[in-house]
Structure 1
Amino acid sequence: MTPAELVVTPTGVRFAGRLLPVSLGRAGIVTDKREGDGATPAGVHRVIGLLYRPDRIAAHVLPAWARPIHPQDRWCDLSGHPDYNHLTRKAFGKSAERLRRADPLYDLILPLDWNWPDAVPGKGSAIFIHQWRRPGYPTAGCLAFCRRDLFFIARHAAPGTRVVVPQRGP
């Protein structure tokens, strides 16, 4: 049996027999992703984790492999730093994205393996599956879904689930 995969199409993301509306990066899909470009990287990526806010989401509604987001958790986007494109608990000023946000966008996150684990400086970091602000509102490069669909993905994906982002034509 082939494991389920998320496939980006022109009309949404196909996953587990459903077509889910998605928001992608404000700069579209690119094959030459760079840090801070606002683009979603084309390619075949894999889910590497499931992180959640334990003060907002009960652990029992998620798979056992989900891990809580601690108040000091950050994702390093300081190109060239040893922690670049990794979860860290170190502060880097504006070069470490706080995972505990005031808004609900990162209440539930599935990080992808883009430029991970051996991050190449400048190739981009923090490509997540997370909650959207609203339908059609672009991300900084991530794949974003409504909360209901995000929970569906979290409950049915597993570590290693493929996320296919095809290159789009001109």
Structure 2
Amino acid sequence: MNAQDLILTPAGLRFRGRLIPCTHGRGGIRADKREGDGATPTGRHEIVGMLYRPDRIDGATLPRWARPIRPFDLWCDAPDHPDYNQMVSAPFAASHERLRRADPMYDLILVTDWNWPDALPGAGSAIFLHQWRAPCRPTAGCVAFARRDLHWIARHLAEGSRLVVPEALAS
């Protein structure tokens, strides 16, 4: 592990000397993650991207490598599609998740390299760090935070930062 790692613990996420409240997947933490199981996968997952809503967040407050979410940006979650676990554009017929949502949950997304870029069909897609719906409310597999905490994390990330989900937490 390195000093820039974000480490999931039973008490929250440990990062840069802080313990930050967070939630994770409703399916628990699993070493054998599968599409649709609602679980957060164990492992060391590099943060490979940062996406934000330019109509809701000033990009100047984020690292230069952050990219705006466009109205037609989607994420493919169809295991049998060649673009599985990739960002795609509308119109898109296969199963997908819209990145530009009406609610604020995806106003800022930290994208991990879980099952990416060469996705294994059915091994799970879109493990993001994003804003939570409500404190203590589990996710579909992502790790979620209060808006202010997510923004603090985004401003303090360094190249090579990873989300570390220890196997000891697996259910």
Q: Which position in structure 2 is the counterpart of 1:118?
A: 118
The answer as to 2:154 corresponding to 1:137 is: no
- State the alpha-carbon separation in 2 of the partners of residues 164 and 103 from structure 1: 27
The aligned counterpart of 1:48 is 48
User: What is the match of residue 108 of structure 2?
Assistant: 108
Partner residue in 1 for 2:27: 27
Within 5 Å, give how 1:5-24 maps onto structure 2: 5-24=5-24
CA distance in 1 between counterparts of 2:170 and 2:154 reads: 30
Aligned equivalent of 2:166: 166
Letter in structure 2 aligned against 1:87: M
RMSD: 1.3
Counterpart of 2:45, as a letter, is H
Residue of structure 2 equivalent to 1:60: 60
For structure 1, which runs of at least 5 residues remain unmatched after alignment? none
Q: Which runs of 5+ in 2 are unaligned?
A: none
TM-score by length of 1: 0.95
Q: Which residue of 1 aligns with 2:97?
A: 97
SS in 1 for 2:113: coil
In 2, Cα distance between equivalents of 1:84 and 1:137: 27
| CA distance in 1: counterparts of 2:85 and 2:158, whole angstroms | 21
Sequence identity (%): 63
Contact between 2:30 and 2:170, CA under 8 Å: does it hold in 1? no
Tell me the alpha carbon deviations over residues 81-131 of structure 1, each in whole angstroms, 9 at most, x when there is no partner.
111101111444571100000000000000100000000000000000000
Question: Secondary structure at the residue paired with 1:155?
Answer: helix
Task: Answer yes or no: is the 8 Å Cα contact 2:57–2:107 preserved in 1.
Answer: yes
Q: Matched residue pairs, number?
A: 169
Indicate how the Cα distance of structure 1 residues 31 and 47 shifts in structure 2: closer, same or farther if over 3 A, else same.
Answer: same
Deviations 1:15-66 (A, max 9, x none): 0110000100001100100001000001111101000000000111111110
Give the secondary-structure state (helix, strand or coil) at the position aligned to 1:150: helix
Give SS of 2:78's match.
coil
What CA deviation, in whole Å up to 9, does each residue of 1:118-166 have, x standing for no partner? 0000000000000001110000000000001000111111343111001
Q: Which runs of 4+ in 1 moved over 3 A?
A: 90-94
- Matched to 1:152, the amino acid is W
